[in-house]
Amino acid sequence: MALLRVADCLLPVLQTTLPMVRDGRRLLSALIAQGIDPLRILPILNRVNAMGEPHPKTLDRALGTHILHHIPEDAALVRACITGGQVLWYKAPFHPISQSLIALARTLVPAPEPTGKPPRGLLQRWWKKQWRWNPQHP
């Protein structure tokens, strides 16, 4: 619990089935009862598909917090991983799950701010090292 209290944010991964929503609500209540700030708890929904799932606003009300991100479901990929089937990894960067995880990473980590300095090229770095190596520079 000490590690959870000092963490920047907590990302519990929940599913959209009714038992998991109920267990997720109990988990969130237990974390808040332990003194963790509710604003640092950012739930993520895993294996979300459009058919037969509760509406996201309904899930927000059921959990008592805003859901940060939704990860889509791909039953064929899960089945291939479980049965040891061939997974086409060359398609991985364009897969909906990969795209969703990339979007989640962009949400969590802010983009770097531009420094205002132009990028230094290979010749500029080499020229600078030449002056450092030469004891008789002008």
pLDDT in tens, the chain (138 residues): 888 888 999 999 988 888 888 899 999 999 999 999 999 999 998 877 766 667 777 888 888 888 888 888 877 766 666 566 666 655 667 778 888 888 898 888 877 776 666 556 777 766 666 655 555 554
CATH number assigned to the domain comprising residue 98: 3.40.50.300
Distance CA 90, CA 79 (A): 18
Distance CA 5, CA 33 (A): 11
Query: How far are the Cα atoms of 72, 99, 101, 107 from residue 80, in angstroms, in the given order?
Result: 16, 19, 20, 29
For residue 130, report the phi and psi dihedrals to the nearest 5 degrees. -60, -40
Q: Which pairing describes strands 69-72 and 44-48: parallel, antiparallel, or unpaired?
A: parallel
Q: Is residue 83 one of the residues assigned to a domain? A: yes
Number of domains forming the structure of the chain: 1
Q: Is residue 41 one of the residues assigned to a domain? A: yes
Q: Which domain holds residue 48?
A: 2-110
Distance CA 20, CA 75 (A): 18
Amino acid identity, position 23: D
Tokens, residue 43 = 């739930």
Q: Is residue 18 one of the residues assigned to a domain? A: yes
pTM greater than the 0.75 cutoff: no
Amino acid identity, position 95: H
